[in-house]
Amino acid sequence: MKSTNSIIKFSIIIFGILMSVQASAQQLNMDVRDFDGNMQVYDPANPSKSKGAKLSYADVEGTAFWNEQWNPAIIYFSNGSKAKINQAKLNLYTDEIHYLSNDGTELAVDNQNITRLVFLNKNNLTQPIASFTKLINHITNTGTGYYRVLNAGDFQLILLQKQLVKTNPYDPIQGKSISSFYSKKEYAMYNNGKVNTLRDLDRNSILASIPTNASIDNWLKENKNKLKSEKEVITFLNFFNTLKPNE
């Protein structure tokens, strides 16, 4: 009986974890209209909220971060709570959120139970500059990753960007092997709680991931939009999400 109860409890825990990384609504949130400006701020002295380990990539060229600049951010948890970090960065190599302690030490937040991360304009805390949501990795179907949400609406372009490290052969002139970060990007379309892989960021892939609509071709021609860049796809989706079915 104890074994059965343990299995049931374990199953409930796993189900809760999976649900925490899936969107509860059809759209992934992008804004911070629920930000009240008075939420709890992470206390770097609290060991339960920090791994307490100083991190350094001095020996690796390039950057591991989405943005090298420190920006305020709001983090959202699976239990519905949220907290603000005054100076944060997103590490796309480790999928950790870095922040500065009171004495200026760079630390990494334990990502357990975090579901969303929204970076804010440091000059206007009501204005988001980037929104990320944590989903199951759609490429490997295992583990999770921070996806950047690039537009609002029923059909959303999302980006899973990972920073990886490559090491060149030994250089006898410098007397060492040079390691550097490089980016790997995987785009996908999010709709109704599902992540659909895009083979590429191009016209065929985008149009195959949305319902057929008579207005599409005319709009693309009139706007000279070839769906070949992130900006063009976002502009198109902002239009497409305003259309009614079969319009």
pLDDT of 23: 44
CB burial class (10 A; 0-12, 13-18, 19+) of residue 65? Answer: middle
pTM here is: 0.79
Backbone CA torsion sign across 22, 23, 28, 33: negative
Q: What are the angstrom distances between the C-alpha of 115 and each of 184, 208, 212? A: 22, 29, 32
What tokens were used for 55? 């991190």
Locate the domains of the chain by residue range. 2-197, 199-247
One-letter identity of residue 30: M
**Mean pLDDT in runs of 10 for the chain (247 residues)?**
42 39 58 52 40 60 94 92 91 91 82 90 91 93 93 96 86 76 95 93 96 92 96 97 76
CB 186 within 8 A of CB 147: no
